[in-house]
Amino acid sequence: MKNTNLIRVKTITAFHRLRGLPQPAHPLISVADYSKMNYADIEKTALTFDFYTVSIKRNVDGKFRYGQQEYDFDGGIMFFTAPHQRLQFEATTAAQISGWILLIHPDFLYNTHLANVIKQYEYFNYAVNEALFLSEKEEHTVYSFIENIHQEYHSNIDKFSKQIIVSQIESLLSYSDRFYNRQFITREQNNHQLLNRLDALLTDYFNRKIVLKGLPSVQFVAESLNVSPGYLSSSLRMLTGQNTQQHIHNRLIETAKEKLSTTNLTVSEISYELGFEHLQSFSKLFKSKTNLSPLAFRQSFN
């Protein structure tokens, strides 16, 4: 896929215009039908939105690009995007895409509970290949909320409208959380493989012959495993009860304990080998995890 220009879509009205749809009934929230959209002029264009999206697409015959990776889909998928993510689609045939997309501008959530918690739903930051695959029953449940939202903002707006719509969105997101949890369970074998790859990566990092400054970041680890940071943390929490940062720290402490108990390296040398620029930072982290200083831990073996 060739490099393309990035189009920033700032408003829901602009999205409707870009896709050849009628003016939205509400400027800050909309449900749009994929089968009625025009893709001809932008099929090779990268897009970024200033709003949240929740969508289900069916009959997709083409490639999605998220960052620098491409993914093929041939079935119905549900995925979520947060503002300012980059998404690109390139059609490969004239197949008719169907499904819907819910557009939610952050301004619509202003002064609501959801405005404070929506960023806690990590799947808004998952990559396209980490989409949610719904059963027929699950899709029916999801669609019921979408239909309620659609009907509500097309009705006469009153003082209850926003509260009702936000309540439906919250229920939609909560059920999506539940369905993702089910997907993590049903894909447990894949997630264990991901955990094994992570452990191998960290083992190699902490035992490398060439010393690099700094601990492996969550972003570095996720990119090395070709998954998004959010998806990696969610998978690890399901398997181990820990997020990625906690897992990195625990593996580091395990490596430090091994070096302290089996080598003659000084604490300062071990700290440097593990990527710390300052001995104090290593000692502080080690003590927070073990309740002992590195030197006290070593002396406990004497």
Q: Cβ distance 96 to 35 under 8 Å?
A: yes
The CATH number of whichever domain residue 288 belongs to comes to 1.10.10.60
Determine, yes or no, domain membership for 37.
yes
Of 72, 76, 71, 30, the residue nearest 53 (C-alpha): 30
| Residue 1 forms part of a structural domain | no
Taking CA 52 as the corner, what is the angle to CA 149 and CA 139, rounded to the nearest 5 degrees?
50
On whether both 148 and 216 belong to a single domain, the answer is no
**In which residue are the tokens 């998220």 written?**
66
Q: Indicate if 35 and 155 belong to the same structural domain.
A: yes
Q: Are residues 38 and 89 in the same domain?
A: yes
Q: What whole-number distance in Å separates Cα of residue 56 and Cα of residue 33?
A: 10
- Residue in the block written with tokens 């906690």: 246
Residue-level pLDDT, tens digit, the chain, 302 residues = 445 578 889 999 999 998 899 999 999 999 999 888 876 655 566 888 999 999 988 765 555 554 444 544 444 688 898 998 877 665 545 457 788 999 999 999 999 999 999 988 988 878 766 778 888 889 899 999 999 999 999 988 888 999 999 999 999 999 999 998 888 777 666 667 888 888 888 888 887 755 556 788 898 898 888 888 888 888 888 778 889 999 999 989 998 998 898 888 899 989 888 888 889 999 999 999 999 999 998 888 76
Same domain, 230 and 288: yes
Domain CATH code at residue 36: 2.60.120.280
β-partners of residue 264 are none
Using the 3D structure, point to which of 186, 219, 237 is the last residue of a domain: 186
Residues 278 and 213 in one domain: yes
Single-letter code of the amino acid located at 74: D
**Are residues 57 and 151 located together in one domain of the fold?**
yes
Please indicate, yes or no, whether residues 215 and 155 belong to a single structural domain of this protein.
no
Within this chain, do residues 24 and 89 fall inside the same structural domain, yes or no?
Answer: yes
Query: For the CA atoms of 121, 125, 127, 130, what is the dihedral angle to 10 degrees?
Result: -10
Is 126 domain-assigned?
Answer: yes
Q: Give residue 150's domain range.
A: 6-186
Q: How many domains does the chain have?
A: 2
In the three-class reduction of DSSP (H, G, I as helix; E, B as strand; rest coil), residue 198 is classed as helix
